[in-house]
Chains A and B, each alone.
Chain A
Amino acid sequence: MSDPNHPDPATNAEPKTAPGGAGRILRALRSASIVRSLRKDWVAMLALAVLLILMFAAALPNLLAPYRVFDLTQIQLMNAFRPPAWLDGGSAEFLLGTDDQGRDILSAIIYGLRVSVTVGLGGVALAVVIGVTIGLIAGYAGGFIDSLLMRVADVQLTFPAILIAVMIDGVSRAILGNAGRDNAAVIVLIIAIGLSGWVEYARAVRGATMVERHRDYVASAQLSRVGTASILFNHILPNVLTAVLVIGTIHLGVAILIEATLSFVGLGIPPTQPSLGTLIRVGNNYILSGEWWIAIMPGFALLVLVLAINLLGDFLRDALNPRLK
């Protein structure tokens, strides 16, 4: 076996990876086959377009939002409960109406989008890092380590993601105190989503790794005394990334929903820095009293965001899976 501490300089040149293993994503992109299949799929095109717009809004809220909703000096209680512009009493000043504090709902949604997407992407990224690492190790090592890691994954799967997220929220409140927890809400949620969502990645990567590790290119790398870490991350990883990409896209939708759920029940982002879920929670107080737009508008934004992500995820799964072609 290779010894990572004493690599042989003469044979350290990376062996050519096996044909067909150079990363289906890169290849697919290069040959533009994925672009071609995207052109044929107008639903996926639309989903991508919508997602790009939403991501742009989330990335640059200052550019698009008419008001700075986090700036308390801009909020006037007198403007509260204005209906959307097309209803009686609405005005073009507040296109989608205002909430109970007089915040412009359109702006709140745009800023909320940023919080939701940040938490979603962060959570997914953390889950990917944990899941892929564990999956690679388990699949490559096999035997006892594999059994141990996969049993841990099984146990983890018996807890619903929300339950894990609630537990992490509780722990963070105990450690940071309530105010501290609220200030670190984004990070706490990213950790909660990351720790509750890694198992799927681990399983998929483990399966793919078990297949890949018997391939010739791995054997040749081993013979060339390439370090284990290098084999895992430089050689095997690119070949199992397809699965990660597909799971990741779907998981992003789930992660954003988990964030929204936690914020809705009051365990997520505080109302001073609202995410989409927080906005829906605030609006829910007025759902019976006729000011439906406070909850429905951010709810609709959440729906469109998650739907676009899921449609795109479906498309990627189909397009990148050679067996379905």
Chain B
Amino acid sequence: MEAIEDMTKLNGIHGRTPFRGRMASGACAAALALGMAGSAATADTLRIAGQGDIGTLDPQAQNSQITISVLSMVYESLVTRDEDLQMVPSLALSWEPVADTTWRFELRPDVTFHDGSAFDAEDVKFTIERAQAETSQFANFVGSIASVEVIDDLTVEIETAMVDPLLPDKLGYIMIMDSGWAEANGVTVPQDLGNEENTYAVMNANGTGPYTIAERVPDNRTVLEINPDYWGEMADDIEEVIYLPISSPPTRISSLISGEVDVVIDVPPQDVQRLESTDGLTVARSPELRTIFFGFDHASGELRHGDAGGTNPFQDLRVRQAVDSAIDADTISRVVMRGLSQPTAQLIAPGNFGWNPEGDERAPFDIEHARELLAEAGYPDGFSVRMDCPTDTYTNPEQICQAVSAMMSQIGIDIDLNLIPRAQFIPLLWDKDTSFFIIGFNTAYFDAMYVLETLLMTQTGEDGEGIYNYSGYSNPEFDELVREARVELDRDRRQELMYEAFAIARADVAYAPLHTQTLVYAMRDGVDVPVRPDNFIEIRWVTMD
């Protein structure tokens, strides 16, 4: 149980977050029993506002935080996380490795999907295979799986192509669908979101989770209704949950102050102080397990968007180093983020296994040095390039991108700033139709391996290697190290290998890291939405009076 042991050791970080103790387990159970008994008959609605909308209801089509966060109220995985982010049973009751490359999962009996059909091993096999399809954005999570065998109704054995100690962690991201429902509605493969395909599963859902979809109006609202037959435990029994995308930050905050919504999950740093001093509101925060950084197009021979005399300057290490040293992360943290961020030199945040406490020293902010590097690389007068920047995801991206544009202008890089909604931004990444972009990334299962494999490895199209490597970064030496690390069972040795791999990517300036964010939720008194460092809204823990 290497993976579970990893999680235990990782636990140190949670003492630093306000997260622990939010639900001391004993008190929690008592409150839970009371909550169930006391408010069973009250009609109540929890309205949650965030900056962007969910992209689809198809659970394998879009690996984007708000999408999977809302869908996790409807669909469930084999495993889930408890308040200390430790893996605990969900649709699987238990799991164990029965051979080097074989995991056995015992499934939970008497669970039904929303349409009444029973959950069984066939559904697990079906969903894992669905997640391996070409249109799936979750291919990496099931990339190591060679085959799934149904032993009986409630037992599956998963055969991996190589040793994969993190398999149960990864399966936490595979939300189980009903095979019968999927076949009946022609959605056995995930929606091809990149080509704007529309399928039945985009607007309809049938999971095992505590909520069902009552209404979905894209870019307007998603209404969830409680599933009375839910098998699991809930801290409360809120009848209706409404997710409202409100992209304008002041409008979102005003909605909370005026009582139109109960919770705001994307609170701009500039409004934190004001909300904290407002009667009747509570602000909760936690360092997020996400890093914000800038990406370059390493692959194209010529800038796709920009003008550098027919070349692609980002292929030159010195240019990437110049960009890296021209970003004044401290000032961005102080002014744009108002201290609610931590400048970093790494691509993973503290709290992830593989984060290096000694690796967080940024390249010194040095305009002169950056200019020299550009001149050495043959761009003494700089060049122009388009920067693609989503406006409704992460914290204050528009302000960050504008600030970095100004910083780049100091060294002669003329930025054509392309500010667009996330819905238009993501396809640019998929098509690798971007030369310079900002992106936020978190380690899905709190292990750096995810970042190494999906973001940094050469994109091979196999097993999800480099599936999110939109930059085209490729270094065979790096790939070799990751291949070695991912089958290494010794924890310390694995950490050592991951440190080495990250050091290579850092030396290559594969990306230019900026900072890790602090997550801030604001809610009216009487509502308690715990802030998970991975930014999942865990509806099972939410209480409301």
Binding site for B on A (CB under 8 A): 71-73, 75-78, 80-81, 100-102, 178-179, 182, 270-272, 284-291
Contacts and interface: CB of A to CB of B under 8 A. Distances in A.
Given A77-B332, A284-B250, A289 B409 contact: no
Interface string B385-420: 010000000000011001101111110000111111
B198 interface: no
Ranked nearest first, the 9 interchain pairs of A and B with the lowest CB-CB distance are A72-B409, A289-B270, A75-B406, A72-B406, A73-B409, A179-B418, A80-B335, A77-B403, A77-B331
B254 interface: yes
A261 to B, nearest CB: 14
11 contacts: A72-B409, A77-B335, A77-B336, A77-B406, A100-B399, A179-B305, A182-B418, A285-B249, A287-B250, A288-B274, A289-B271
B273 interface: yes
Contacts of A287: 250
A75 B271 CA distance: 24
Contacts of A71: 409
Contact of A285 (B250, B405, B415, B417): B250
Contacts of A81: 335
A101 B406 contact: yes
Contacts of A102: 335, 406
B398 A179 contact: no
B190 interface: no
Contacts of B408: 72
B210 to A, nearest CB: 34
B287 interface: no
Interface in B434-451: none
Contacts of B415: 72
Contact of B253 (A101, A182, A288, A291): A288
Contact of B419 (A271, A284, A291): A271
Nearest to B386: A179
B328 interface: yes
A286 B402 CA distance: 16
Contacts of B268: 285
A288 B250 contact: yes
A81 B257 CA distance: 24
B64 interface: no
A77 B331 CA distance: 7
A94 B79 CA distance: 57
A100 B336 contact: yes
Contacts of A80: 335-336
A77 B328 contact: yes
B248 interface: yes
A179 B416 contact: yes
A72 B305 CA distance: 19
Contact of A288 (B271, B331, B417, B418): B271
A57 B484 CA distance: 66
Contact of B405 (A72, A76, A178): A72
B147 interface: no
Given A75-B406, A288-B254, 6 more contacts: A78-B331, A80-B335, A81-B335, A271-B419, A285-B268, A289-B274
Contacts, number: 72
A36 B12 CA distance: 84
Contact of B417 (A75, A272, A291): A272
B424 interface: yes
Interface residues of B, number: 35
B270 A286 contact: yes
Interface of B: 248-250, 253-254, 257, 268, 270-271, 273-274, 305, 328, 331-332, 335-336, 386, 398-399, 402-403, 405-410, 415-420, 424
Contacts of B328: 77
A178 B271 CA distance: 30
Contacts of A100: 335-336, 399
B250 to A, nearest CB: 5
A77 B408 CA distance: 12
Nearest to A287: B250
Looking at B268, B402, B416, which has the most chain A CB atoms within 10 Å of its CB? Answer: B402
Contacts of A271: 398, 402, 419
B403 A101 contact: yes
Contacts of A75: 406, 409
Given A77-B407, A101-B403, A178 B332 contact: no
A272 B389 CA distance: 13
Contact of B273 (A77, A182, A289): A289
A101 B250 contact: no
A174 to B, nearest CB: 12
Contacts of A179: 305, 386, 416, 418
A288 B424 CA distance: 29
A178 B274 contact: no
A287 B224 CA distance: 33
A175 to B, nearest CB: 15
B436 to A, nearest CB: 13
Given A284-B248, A285-B250, A285-B270, A73 B420 contact: no
Contacts of B248: 284
A100 B453 CA distance: 37
B424 A178 contact: yes
Contacts of A290: 274
Nearest to A76: B406
A101 B336 CA distance: 8
B194 to A, nearest CB: 17
B381 to A, nearest CB: 13
A270 B420 CA distance: 10
Contacts of B418: 178-179, 182
A288 B254 CA distance: 8
B468 to A, nearest CB: 22
A189 B274 CA distance: 36
